Amino acid sequence: MAEKLISHIPEGPLAEKWKKHKAQIRVVSPANKRKMEIIVIGTGLGGASAAASLGELGYNVKVFCISDSPRRAHSIAAQGGINAAKNYQNDNDSVYRLFYDTIKGGDYRSREANVYRLAEVSNNIIDQCVAQGVPFAREYGGLLDNRSFGGAQVSRTFYARGQTGQQLLLGAYAALNRQIAKGTVKSYPRHEMLDLVLVNGEAKGIIARNIVTGEIERFGAHAVVIASGGYGNVYFLSTNAMNSNGSAAWQCYKKGACFANPCFAQIHPTCIPVHGTQQSKLTLMSESLRNDGRIWVPKKKEDVEKLRKKQIKPSQIPEEDRDYYLERRYPAFGNLVPRDVASRAAKERCDAGFGVNETGLAVFLDFKTAIERLGEKVITERYGNLFQMYEKITDTNPYKEPMMIYPAIHYTMGGLWVDYNLQTTIPGLYAIGEANFSDHGGNRLGASALMQGLADGYFILPYTIGDYLSHKFSEPKTDTNAPEFEAAEKAVKEKIAKLLAIKGKKTVDEMHKELGHIMWEYVGMARNEAGLKSAIEKIRELKKEFWSNVYVAGTNEQFNQELEKALRLADFFEIGELMAIDALDRKESCGGHFREEMQTEDGETKRDDEHYMYVAAWEYQGEGKEPKLHKEPLKYENIKIAVRNYKD
């Protein structure tokens, strides 16, 4: 069983591992690179940076995205910033400190060697982005500015107003465009991967649907890279883009790639609260706001009542009647505790009856103190676009009254299991960025998703994939007429035909909302054994109903957004089920995974290192069968394992 998961972590001291590994892995000659083909699925920070870098190296790359342009990938929506251990602020930051914060932030459930490498290459990312013309925020002296993010006591976050993800993605997209113009990369926008094709157990291509025409097409390669992001939309309401989905990664799982830690989903504390049942999407307010915003609820229940009845405005509640509960509970980190901690603390206050909007599910994020201290102009400079966005959505001016926020699903730490080389358990199949599991453990720190996507795409995968391909250059181009492609295409066509033929009574969105309710209720911020067991049953029933009672409008041979949604939802049922199975197995609380049975007296997470210090990697066993659990033990040799403490 242990053989399934070989992590290929290099021997030697932590700080030497990556250097040593790079020296030892093989490279492919320029002439041979020209003969080889690589498929990249997704064009967010991971996919775009990988495709561009691989193109620069001379490989023939085919890059696929479901949007009309690579630039629309959801990385574009990341607001606050990107971490790097530059120590430009002279606040004693270092590669080790970034590594330490990330492992601790992830509640000791990520792999040491991977995280250290991530911290190591973080500095190269900033250099690369500046060279590409990313307009990071600067000081008057012309040098780069930084700010703080949750889970850190140093200022290591680089940012471009509240649009850092956009600017980094435009950088990677520009690098990609340059390669497309050169002909090393061929771009396939509005194409959706619907299956992975294995030949002799190795990843050799994909089946994709042309979203405009409905044509089912075959693409072959020497290796396939999955950079399709996370599966947060399993909850229906999330901060993910509407089209974000887990299907590409899920097809890989069903073809034999292990899926790791699916239950680790991040709930972001500062999102605009749900306003009603007609809502399709939740909007994030950047974590960077917690640099200057203070989170509170009223101390007195009568103030809560008056607020709900709109008899008073929040600004009228005097200072002494406000409970700045994060500052109270976590004095060392205050408003900058990690996301999972801040989310649970908000839930605790709301459950206790102190929630401040009509639904009772909101807390305040207040800039009064910061505006008094810095002036409105500075606040506008830092967060202007976020304040504008908030006002457009809620019709409330956050310069005058505090924002109302509530936790929402934001990111998934779990994903395809990968080794140190970012290769999955299928040879030739790689996973990068949010699509893999490796770097964030039970909770991702803010401003680290952008860092990981670009680290994987620019600096890690282009090296490690070469090692695999160095054994493959004598192989001819993959023949897409092979029986494996034939069979995969047939299966995809049959699945589509089956969906379209059901013509039941419920719409795709109705069923997605039902799944979302189950997930949020039982596999959300707080989980317990009975709830998880009933969630598994309910999801299975719902999936059965889906396959007999969904109504998918239209045909395959047209631009058909209902069919796209239905195909993704079909996979979300299965992803949700695996999340619940994993959450049931992990009878401990760690990071974003909070098992109610496992908490300290003051309601903090209680890990069980003795029994659960492992990566749970699940292997598909076939339709209707229980997946098989493989455990990769986590070893901490360079960090002292401790109870995560943000109090002192």
Partner 1 sequence: MDLTLKVWRQKNAKEKGHFETYQVKGISPDSSFLEMMDILNEQLIKENIDPVAINKGCKSSGPVSFDHDCREGICGACSLYINGRAHGPDNDVTTCQLHMRKFKDGDTITIEPWRSAAFPVIKDLVVDRGAFDKILQAGGFISVNTGGVPDANAIPIPKKNADLSMDAAACVGCGACVATCKNGSAMLFVSARVSSLALLPQGKVEAARRAKNMVAKMDELGFGACTNTRACEMECPKNISVTNIARLNREFLCAKLKD
CB of 103 to partner 1, least distance (A): 25
CA distance 4 to 2: 5
Shortest CA distance to 606 belongs to which of 403, 344, 288, 234?
Answer: 344
- 161 is a site residue for partner 1 (CB under 8 A): yes
Q: Which two tokens stand for residue 526?
A: 């707080």
120-139 binders of partner 1 (CB under 8 A) = 124, 126-133, 135-139
Question: CB count, 10 Å around CB of 22?
Answer: 16
CB of 246 to partner 1, least distance (A): 16
Residues 6+ apart with CB under 8 A from 251: 193, 194, 195, 196, 571
Contact stretch for partner 1 (CB under 8 A) within 19-27, 180-188, 369-377, 529-537: 180-188
CA distance 195 to 254: 9
CA distance 435 to 43: 12
Strand 429-431 vs strand 223-226: parallel, antiparallel, or unpaired?
parallel
CA distance 63 to 60: 10
- 425 is a site residue for partner 1 (CB under 8 A): no
Q: How many residues does the chain have?
A: 648
- 404 is a site residue for partner 1 (CB under 8 A): no
CB of 293 to partner 1, least distance (A): 19
- 296 is a site residue for partner 1 (CB under 8 A): no
- 226 is a site residue for partner 1 (CB under 8 A): no
30-59 binders of partner 1 (CB under 8 A) = 49, 52-53, 56
CB of 181 to partner 1, least distance (A): 4
Among 63, 95, 241, 289, binds partner 1 (CB under 8 A): 241
* Residue 7 · residue 632 · CB < 8 Å: yes
561-600 binders of partner 1 (CB under 8 A) = 561-562
58-117 binders of partner 1 (CB under 8 A) = 67-74, 76-77, 86, 88
Active site residue 339: yes
* Residue 263 · residue 593 · CB < 8 Å: yes
- 397 is a site residue for partner 1 (CB under 8 A): no
* Residue 580 · residue 535 · CB < 8 Å: yes
- 278 is a site residue for partner 1 (CB under 8 A): yes
Taking the least distance from each CB to partner 1, the nearer of 329 and 565 is: 565
CA distance 158 to 476: 44
Give, rounded to a whole angstrom, the gap between the first and last alpha carbons of the chain: 42
Among 201, 375, 554, 633, binds partner 1 (CB under 8 A): 554
CA distance 648 to 640: 17
Q: Which two tokens stand for residue 624?
A: 């209707």
- 556 is a site residue for partner 1 (CB under 8 A): no
Among 30, 141, 476, 483, binds partner 1 (CB under 8 A): 141
CB of 53 to partner 1, least distance (A): 4
474-513 binders of partner 1 (CB under 8 A) = 504-505, 507, 509-510
* Residue 196 · residue 71 · CB < 8 Å: no
Contact stretch for partner 1 (CB under 8 A) within 159-167, 415-423, 444-452, 533-541: 159-167
CA distance 51 to 575: 27
Interface mask toward partner 1 for 521-550; x: CB under 8 A: ------------------------------
What number of chain residues touch partner 1 (CB under 8 A)?
84
Query: Apex CA 266: angle with CA 399 and CA 196, to 5°?
Result: 125
- 286 is a site residue for partner 1 (CB under 8 A): no
352-391 binders of partner 1 (CB under 8 A) = 388-389
Number of H helices, E strands in the chain: 19, 21
DSSP code for 147: B
* Residue 441 · residue 593 · CB < 8 Å: no
* Residue 562 · residue 518 · CB < 8 Å: no
CB of 282 to partner 1, least distance (A): 9
Strands (E), 454-582: 506-507, 550-551
CB of 581 to partner 1, least distance (A): 30
Q: By three-state DSSP, how is residue 224 classified? A: strand
Radius of gyration of the chain (CA): 24
Taking the least distance from each CB to partner 1, the nearer of 88 and 417 is: 88
Taking the least distance from each CB to partner 1, the nearer of 280 and 316 is: 280
- 180 is a site residue for partner 1 (CB under 8 A): yes
Taking the least distance from each CB to partner 1, the nearer of 161 and 595 is: 161
Taking the least distance from each CB to partner 1, the nearer of 506 and 533 is: 506
Taking the least distance from each CB to partner 1, the nearer of 166 and 343 is: 166
CB of 563 to partner 1, least distance (A): 11
- 242 is a site residue for partner 1 (CB under 8 A): yes
CA distance 454 to 434: 11
Contact stretch for partner 1 (CB under 8 A) within 296-304, 307-315, 441-449, 457-465: 457-465
- 210 is a site residue for partner 1 (CB under 8 A): no
Among 102, 110, 148, 166, binds partner 1 (CB under 8 A): 166
Among 5, 82, 175, 449, binds partner 1 (CB under 8 A): 175
Contact stretch for partner 1 (CB under 8 A) within 163-171, 329-337, 594-602, 637-645: 163-171
Question: CB-side exposure of 477: number of CA atoms within 13 Å?
Answer: 14
- 183 is a site residue for partner 1 (CB under 8 A): no
- 442 is a site residue for partner 1 (CB under 8 A): no
Q: Which of 109, 161, 339, 527 is catalytic?
A: 339
- Amino acid code (one letter) for 251: Q
Residues 6+ apart with CB under 8 A from 526: 344, 347, 594, 596
CA distance 274 to 362: 9
**Residues catalogued as catalytic:** 339
